[in-house]
Amino acid sequence: MGKTLSEKILSEKSGSDARAGDIVIAQVDLAFVQDTTGPLTIRQFKEIKHGRIANPQQTAIFLDHAIPSPNRQLSNDHKFLRRFAEDTGCLIFEGGSGICHQLVAEMFANPGDIIVGADSHTVTAGGLGAFATGMGSSDIAVVFALGKTWFRVPETFKISISGRFRKWVGAKDLVLHLISVLGADGATYKALEFNGNTVANMTISQRLTVANMAVEAGAKVGIFPSDNVTLRYLAAQRRGNKYRPLRPDDDANYERAIIIDASEIEPMVAMPHTVDNVAPVNMLAGTKIDQVFIGTCTNGRLEDLAIAATILKKKKCHPSVRLIIAPASQQVLTKAMRIGYIQVLAAAGAMILPPGCAACLGLHQGVLGDNEACLSTANRNFKGRMGNPEASIYLASPATAAASALTGEITDPRKVS
Amino acid sequence: MLKGRAFKFGDNISTDHIIPGKYAHLRSDLPELAKHVMEDADPTFANKVKPGDFIIAGKNFGLGSSREHAALVIKIAGVSAILVKSVARIFFRNAINQGLPVLICDTNKIDAGDEIEVNLATGVVTDLTNRGQLTFGKIPKVMLDILDEGGLVPYITKHGNFEL
């Protein structure tokens, strides 16, 4: 019997014949924390009577959730993290470098790697063929110390996607559709593995968007094969030498098969307060919104800003809407400035925030007021997520978000361009 | 043997219900953070819960963020175990890593306010109020071993490594 992508990677990294349901101990290629999970990780690490980081160059701290710091407590957490990096020689990425998952994609994630992070959206790196999953602080502290951890080898759902996306429909609409099919817990403990001719034509940016939201169906990983698209991305990031082709065996065993025709997908919106509460945009057309947020590890990449800039070019946001843009990384910001996207978005009335998580988690930079509604390109719309349990969050693509910023209400992007 | 009252919640209680991201600035001040436990699901919970009590919920408990603080504040509040129909993956690991049992059973049969007794050794939940009995699903051995040591950090400190 052949192997799924997850079984192949876990076999290689554990030195065993890993099959779904097995418990294995596997070597980890990168372990990381961000600024809201890092302090507890370090305290747990210091509790382990060990004292040393196993692989400092494969251990990273990203300051992205609370940057620039909104208050003294978080500033002190940042100081604590910087000090730890100085003392141990692990890697640290300062505020403004970008969102951890975007930086992991740009600098670290290679096909066949195992990546664990103290952040649930660590699954994003599955877009590059890595077995990448989120864990809590204690688990990551132990990986810091040992360079390995235990995994239950997941059963896999095979997601086959064929057909061509319609105009202004893309990866975000696809993954919202998929989550509505699976349900918010429909893939708990499972691996989602993507294939099909649509996948072969998807850019890495699009693959990262889909992999990013695998966790919103409960999945442990969302993983793509490694192919020529992966090679081109790695080469552009000066990591061409890290490329290896990786695909599942033809006779691999799948628990479930899901077939999606991309040409049938409409622009989709997830309604409050769960990500699987999904409807086509037309069913929600006219819903008034107060804020639009384009950014995050889901949709803050260059292609996403390009879509927003195309729709907003030489236009102004509706006067009743606040548009917030946060590029996912410094690299994204720099390129978007060079091409002119940032100028277009600023001219349309957008507030441009530094690369980071920004409004996504309700900490600062875009907290909602009572009874306000936000249309966001993020991955979560839970009650209270954007800092106020009395507010509503709708999730959609950058195209739908930009179109809605123009009109002040949820709008099908095909209606405005 | 664990004993306490049942506090009941519905399906899809997320880590934002348990401890929202807006309190990230309190994460290095755990006693202060714990005052907000379950706030966006039941703002009165933190004042009412007593050591030994149980959180009873539906499916997909703890979905969302990897923040271990979600499991940690529930433990600090004195909750002795969480009984649910199903649990999200990261929260499950986090709770066990903090030495907090998460038990899978048919929670429809427990009402809010019931007196509950849980026997971790036999896998039986007894509802002392309605005199019903439930059994909960098996926890994988690696997790039971971690739970037995009081959490992952004490486990690794004692064994120096994972032992399968």
The complex scores an ipTM of 0.96
Chain A segment 224-263 residues within 8 A of B by beta carbon are none
Residues B12-18 have a mean pLDDT of 96
Is residue B93 within a helix (H) or strand (E), and if so which, with residue range? helix B89-97
Residues of A in contact with B141 (CB under 8 A): 23
Tell whether A186 lies on the interface with B, counting CB pairs under 8 A.
Answer: no
Torsion of CA A114, B14, A185, A130, to 10 degrees: -10
Per residue of chain A (417 residues), give pLDDT as tens.
999 999 999 999 999 999 999 999 999 999 999 999 999 999 999 999 767 999 999 999 999 999 999 999 999 999 999 999 999 999 999 999 999 999 999 999 999 999 999 999 999 999 999 999 999 999 999 999 999 999 999 999 999 999 999 999 999 999 999 999 999 999 999 999 999 999 999 999 999 999 999 999 999 999 999 999 999 999 999 999 999 999 999 999 999 999 999 999 999 999 999 999 999 999 999 999 999 999 999 999 999 999 999 999 999 999 999 999 999 999 999 999 999 999 999 999 999 999 999 999 999 999 999 999 999 999 999 999 999 999 999 999 999 999 999 999 999 999 997
pLDDT of residue A313: 98
Closest approach of A187 to chain B, Cα-based (Å) = 10
Residues B50-72 have a mean pLDDT of 97
Question: How far is the C-alpha of A101 from the C-alpha of A204, rounded, in Å?
Answer: 13
CB contact under 8 A, A120 and B98: no
Give the residue on B whose Cα is nearest the Cα of A218: B88
CB contact under 8 A, A73 and B29: yes
Tell whether A145 lies on the interface with B, counting CB pairs under 8 A.
Answer: yes
- Between A148, A150, A188, which is nearest B86 by CB? A188
Tell whether B102 lies on the interface with A, counting CB pairs under 8 A.
Answer: no
Residues of A in contact with B69 (CB under 8 A): 40
Average pLDDT taken over every residue of chain B: 96
Chain A segment 268-287 residues within 8 A of B by beta carbon are 274
What lies within 8 Å, CB to CB, of A37 at 6+ separation is: A118, A119, A136, A137, A140, B66, B67, B68
CB contact under 8 A, B142 and A383: no
- Between B17, B60, B90, which is nearest A136 by CB? B90
B164 pLDDT tier (thresholds 50, 70, 90)? confident
Closest approach of A287 to chain B, Cα-based (Å) = 25
Phi/psi-derived region of residue A376, left when phi > 0, alpha when psi is between -120 and 50, beta in every other case: beta
Closest approach of A229 to chain B, Cα-based (Å) = 30
Best residue in B32, B141, B153, B161 to probe A by mutation, most A CBs within 10 Å? B153
Tell whether A369 lies on the interface with B, counting CB pairs under 8 A.
Answer: no
Tell whether A390 lies on the interface with B, counting CB pairs under 8 A.
Answer: no
Nearest Cα to A23, choosing from B106, B139, B46, B129? B139
Residues of A in contact with B22 (CB under 8 A): 362-363, 367, 384, 387
Residues of A in contact with B94 (CB under 8 A): 135-139
Chain A / chain B CB contacts < 8 angstroms: 150
pLDDT of residue A50: 66
Tell whether A44 lies on the interface with B, counting CB pairs under 8 A.
Answer: yes
pLDDT of residue B138: 86
Tell whether A185 lies on the interface with B, counting CB pairs under 8 A.
Answer: yes
Question: How far is the C-alpha of B79 from the C-alpha of B4, rounded, in Å?
Answer: 9
Give the residue on A whose Cα is nearest the Cα of B18: A384
